[in-house]
Structure 1
């Protein structure tokens, strides 16, 4: 089903703004964990609290936890578990090690990663020679996987935290989706189990023309991919309202098509299906040779072929890479859910990729399948 031709991406829609009402609606009910040394950074923690509350979200801070009949270690991590976003504020000191061998900040960061929580990291400008060695390692590891933001004052931190939360809100409220070979940013996405309706403001004339062709040619089966699902669909209806010479408001109704046949999951050469999937993806994406001379099905495919060589901007590249990898795993029956995805900034021509998914469970009464983690260095796209 996958169309391997280069994708047509509505890149101009990357900067779609949110109204204050939309931002406050997103923030309502969201919890944001603030992780830092408490005694060293009172002004910075207050600044982070102000930024979080300004969008209607609830800051989760150790100062607010009150008396609990659990250890401090457990209280820290429980706050991470119930939060939607982790905000880490890292400075020169590592902090006192807990019983698990990590400082509280480091333990919270690890827990957020394991949970697949959205992560935003801010580092204060400093002379690296004055930094604790363990803190230097923590920040270096974080920078390998996340784009960190620096600050010098509490006011600057407040601005940067607010800015990053707005970016996350935009990603959540206007997700990128794929229809056929076009990728657009959805202003609204609804599904009733048999039909999917996508409303998008399209700013690319080429993308608009491709969608019109799908409608007029009554194209048959097309791939549809969102951050949560991958399906075969057929366009039922499409209406387009021209807003300007370069902007079209599209409303596209798609009919979901039944999957043809089941997906076979079996061991190959004593390698289980989940491990085989992980090794095959590693060989394709990272250039490893984990399958050695074994070749079967997906080992020859490159899920990222449709975007290679396009030099896509970072603000678009991450969600599009996630779409393509999610499509590959979900459509081929290798994953039930995509649990977490992180694509780091470019270092020496490569990016660190970490992807976790939960395989499907074919039996109702069987234990839940263990998550699968794929991690390695991806050649810069």
Structure 2
């Protein structure tokens, strides 16, 4: 991986119109979690906000009679959703048999399932808050950015705005092409030929793309959130309509001459576990490789961006892209299931990543997901 990257930071927040928002939201299930009796107005406002973008709100009071326990019902609602909206007030709620309140259990399940999280904390006086609720909120804020609300109307507006931001993130995914990282408006991929449409705002990124085209670059890296491989640059056409936007059409093709990645167990430790420890040690500065360290070194996919001082709106998706590139490109993962990079506290962030290793043989069970969870500095 090159030691330097060019990132189109000006394309961090693309606009999403109502038609695009509704197309993205159509059929998406959004689970709403809070104490029901404490927040009837807030839950109604959130329901309206979710429906206004075309998504499906999932609230416990809407779940009909079922022959399962209430705990199983609300956790099933979380598992069937893609987005979690958590509303945290002053009360923790009644503890269930597992020791958690329903709201806390729903939040933990949303984390485990890798849902996109939208967390809102009441702006009321924290001195009136239950101790357990304070612990829950502080734990969430150590990992995620939360938003407050003043009244139900304000909450509804904030939820709609957050859903619009999520739509923009997914409708314009980040990609890597050689030493450049940019937002794509569209990606086509037939397993060999890759087409990318992008509105590039960085002149440096545009110039680098032109240089790869005109210089007939050899094998270069390509990565998205679902694919990572070596490719060859086949073409670039640019339509410039303003002095700040370059509408790019890129054509790439898989480089079949690139060598495949070999992975092996070491000293009785599986190749998947060796890869997990190497990533953990590289990101967090730990020393978990131990006897598996022979021939394997810690791996830090985020090294190229550690000193860039990126804004959070750029840092999170780019960090996710680089780690996904490493896991997919090194054949360590079939899918990257969840990624959470917390806010900076005195230069330290909490990072949690879960992925499912590749299935080595079709007659073997699907591997269990692997996770690393620790604190990272320098971002």
Q: If the length of structure 1 is used for normalisation, what is the TM-score? A: 0.97
Residue 81 of structure 1 corresponds to 79
1:239 aligned to 237, 240, 247, which one? Answer: 237
What residue is the counterpart of 1:329 in the other structure? Answer: 327
State how many pairs are aligned. Answer: 379
Look up the match of 1:6. Answer: 4
Counterpart selection for 1:105 from 103, 106, 118: 103
Residue 328 of structure 1 and its aligned partner are, at CA, apart by 1.0
Change in Cα spacing, 1:77 to 1:259, as seen in structure 2 (3 Å) is farther
> Measured at CA, do residues 148 and 219 of structure 1 come closer, stay the same or move farther in structure 2, by a change above 3 Å?
same
Aligned CA distance change for structure 1 residues 97 and 115 (closer, same or farther; 3 Å): same
Taking a change above 3 Å as real, the CA distance of residues 27 and 286 of structure 1, as seen in their structure-2 partners, is same
Matches within 5 A, 1:40-119: 40-119=38-117
How far has the Cα of 1:298 moved from its partner?
Answer: 4.8
Q: CA deviation at 1:23?
A: 0.5
- How far the C-alpha of 1:297 sits from its partner, in A, is 4.8
What is the CA–CA distance in structure 2 between the aligned matches of 1:368 and 1:285, rounded to whole Å?
26
Q: CA separation of 1:21/1:216 partners in 2, compared to 1, >3 Å: closer, same or farther?
A: same
Partner of 2:161: 163
**Which TM-score applies when normalising by structure 2?**
0.97
Provide the rounded CA distance (Å) in 1 between the counterparts of 2:118 and 2:321: 21
Please report how far the alpha carbon of residue 300 of structure 1 lies from its aligned counterpart in structure 2 after TM superposition.
4.1
Which deviates more from structure 2 when the two are superposed, residues 34-43 or residues 129-138? Answer: 129-138
Within a 5 Å distance, the mapping from 1:107-186 to structure 2 comes to 107-186=105-184
Instruction: Give the 3-state SS of the residue equivalent to 1:74 in structure 2.
Output: helix
- Local SS of the residue matching 2:142: helix
**SS of corresponding position for 1:15:** coil
Distance verdict in 2 for CA 1:12–1:157, change over 3 Å: same
Task: Give the match's secondary structure for 1:193.
Answer: coil
For 1:366, the equivalent position in structure 2 comes to 364
In the other structure, the counterpart of 2:311 is 313
Deviation digits for residues 356-378 of structure 1 (CA, Å, limit 9, x no counterpart)? 01111111010111110000000
Deviation at 1:251, TM superposition (A): 0.6
Decide which of 360, 373, 376 is 1:375's aligned counterpart: 373
C-alpha separation between the residues in 2 aligned to 1:298 and 1:61?
Answer: 48
8 Å contact from structure 1 (residues 346, 380) kept in 2 = no
Q: Is the 8 A contact 2:184 2:197 kept in 1?
A: yes
Cα deviation, 1:288-331, whole Å, max 9, x if unaligned, reads 11124753455244211211211000000001001111111111
Q: In the superposition, relative to structure 1, how do residues 139 and 217 fare at CA in structure 2: closer, same or farther (>3 Å)?
A: same
| Structure 1 residues 206-249: Cα deviation after superposition (integer angstroms, max 9, x where no partner) | 00000000111111111011011111111111110002111100
1:67-94: CA deviations, max 9, x gaps?
2222111110111111110000001101
Q: Give the aligned partner of residue 254 of structure 1.
A: 252
Secondary structure of the residue aligned to 2:104 is helix
1:192 is aligned to 2:190:
yes
RMSD: 1.3
Match of 1:346 in 2: 344
SS of equivalent to 1:299: coil
- Is the Cα–Cα contact under 8 Å of residues 145 and 352 in structure 1 kept in the other structure? yes
Q: Is the 8 A contact 1:6 1:305 kept in 2?
A: no
Per-residue CA deviations over 1:242-275 (Å, capped at 9, x if unaligned) read: 0211110001011112374443332212322222
Task: Tell me whether 304-313 or 276-285 shows the greater mean CA deviation.
Answer: 276-285
Moved more, 281-290 or 297-306: 297-306
Are residue 23 (structure 1) and residue 17 (structure 2) matched?
no
The runs of 5 or more residues in structure 2 that have no matched partner are none
Question: Equivalent of 2:289, from 281, 288, 291?
Answer: 291
Residue aligning to 1:264: 262
* Aligned-partner Cα distance in 1 for 2:260–2:247: 37
SS in 1 for 2:127: helix
